[in-house]
Amino acid sequence: MRVAVYYKNSDVRIEERPKPEIGPGEIGVKVTASGICGSDVLEWYRIKKAPIVLGHEIAGVIDEVGEGVTKYRVGQRVFVSHHVPCNTCYYCRTGNHTCCETLHTTNFDPGGFAEFVRIPPINVDRGTFVLSDEMSDDEGVFVEPLACVVRGQRNARLQPGQTVLVLGAGIAGMLHVLLAKALGAGRIVATDINPFRMEMARRLGADTVIDGREDVPRRVREANAGRPADLVVVCTGALAVFKQGLASVDRGGTVLCFATTDPGVDLPVPINDFWRNSITVLPSYANSPYDASVAIELMRSKRVRVEEMITHRLPLAETPKGFQLVAGTAGDCMKVVVEPQK
């Protein structure tokens, strides 16, 4: 079968590998759509494991079922989570599934930028979700990223009527805009420096869009009757943007650090001010099976519509071009989906 192997952002090679053999308790999935995530092009994070077949936002069709598998059958359309928790350790029992060591070590074989993947038993058990006829394969690609956003806003306890500021209108930022709108946010403000993304943020639900090079804290207050934001979501890794977020949150509010910085970068937090004003700084990483099920229902019911965000659909042979598009900062690019069967 064909796979796209990552060596670095500028070096993704189409290679041949044997189709994975399916064992007891496993399933084989024919990948029909695989999204390129922003984390896939986070080179400092990915290159230490290269060469590797990436791709964790997948939709496909079950084409093999191993011995002992009774819950699924050949021909079902599915989304499969690459990372799944054990559900029994201390962290899982206390609701912190993304701290689970099992979640950090599980994956499917080889990765979503391949014609076929093997799904291990633990991923079959708690990471495989059947897609209804109401959902497209393209929507299946968004299950994982939307689930991460669901977890972030759930932990931040967004309330209807609150003002949300989303810093960075890439895929994660746009999903935060869409979810906040679906959850009844009172006002949604988004920032970016890319005109294409700024226009998409307006089109998909942001009430106010600000150029990130402006005085963002001041502009937020102007747009929100003099008040800062109740929830600030940082969706880009630039330290300057994190600082904008700290300066744009209201008393009693939350700064949700959805993006990460480069290694070794520290964020100076005005602890005294935050202590006096009950401000929370909250990170969010990954998602749990519960979050994935919520994400699926949000898309199935059309409460969150994601397909307009897809700007490029590429055959597997053009995966290198997809990585260049996502790694770049300019151009009319939002979501890139690789279609491995083409």
pLDDT the model gives residue 231: 98
- Exposure of 237 in the CB half-sphere (CA atoms within 13 A): 14
* pLDDT, average across residues 10-20: 98
Q: Is there a domain that residue 297 lies in?
A: no
pLDDT the model gives residue 57: 98
pLDDT one-digit tens code per residue, 44-82? 999 999 999 999 999 999 999 999 999 999 999 999 999
CA angle at 251 for the pair 194 and 215, rounded to the nearest 5°: 30
Instruction: Using a cut of 0.95, tell me whether the model's pTM lies above it.
Output: yes
Q: Same domain, yes or no, for 151 and 135?
A: no
Please state, in angstroms and as integers, the Cα–Cα distance from residue 49 to each residue in 12, 133, 216, 263, following that order.
14, 37, 37, 16
pLDDT the model gives residue 331: 73
**Torsional sign, CA 143, 144, 150, 151:** positive
For residue 256, what are the β-bridge partners? 233, 282
Q: Same domain, yes or no, for 168 and 203?
A: yes
Q: Same domain, yes or no, for 137 and 151?
A: no
Q: Is there a domain that residue 266 lies in?
A: yes
Cβ 147 vs Cβ 57: under 8 Å: no
Indicate which CATH number applies to the domain containing 333: 3.90.180.10
Q: Is there a domain that residue 295 lies in?
A: no
Radius of gyration from C-alpha coordinates of the chain: 20
Q: Is there a domain that residue 293 lies in?
A: no
Between 143-156 and 171-182, two packed helices, what is the crossing angle to 10 degrees? Answer: 60
Q: List, as one string, the DSSP characters of 104-137.
A: HH---BS-SSBSEEEE-HHHHHHHEEEPPTTS-H
Q: Is there a domain that residue 127 lies in?
A: yes
- C-alpha closest to that of 57 among 76, 77, 37: 37
- C-alpha closest to that of 123 among 74, 62, 36, 32: 62
pLDDT the model gives residue 329: 58
- Answer whether residue 144 shows pLDDT above 70: yes
Q: Same domain, yes or no, for 116 and 156?
A: no
328 confidence band (pLDDT: 50, 70, 90): confident
pLDDT the model gives residue 330: 56
Q: Is there a domain that residue 38 lies in?
A: yes
The torsion angles phi and psi of 208, rounded to 5 degrees, stand at -135, 135
Q: Same domain, yes or no, for 334 and 233?
A: no
Q: Same domain, yes or no, for 137 and 229?
A: no
Indicate which CATH number applies to the domain containing 250: 3.40.50.720
Q: Same domain, yes or no, for 275 and 315?
A: no
Q: Same domain, yes or no, for 277 and 157?
A: yes
* Domains: count for the chain: 2
Q: Same domain, yes or no, for 85 and 168?
A: no
Distance in angstroms (rounded) separating the CA atoms of residues 314 and 36: 11
Q: Same domain, yes or no, for 70 and 89?
A: yes
- C-alpha closest to that of 45 among 260, 195, 202: 260
* pLDDT, average across residues 217-225: 98
- C-alpha closest to that of 242 among 186, 283, 195: 283
Specify the DSSP class assigned to residue 72: -
Q: Same domain, yes or no, for 179 and 98?
A: no
Q: Same domain, yes or no, for 186 and 274?
A: yes
- Answer whether residue 137 shows pLDDT above 70: yes
Lowest pLDDT segment from 83-92, 234-243, 246-255, 324-333:
324-333
* pLDDT, average across residues 8-23: 98
Query: What percentage of the chain exceeds 90 in pLDDT?
Result: 99
Distance in angstroms (rounded) separating the CA atoms of residues 295 and 124: 18
Q: Is there a domain that residue 71 lies in?
A: yes
Q: Which residue range(s) make up the domain with 187? A: 147-283
Q: Is there a domain that residue 292 lies in?
A: no
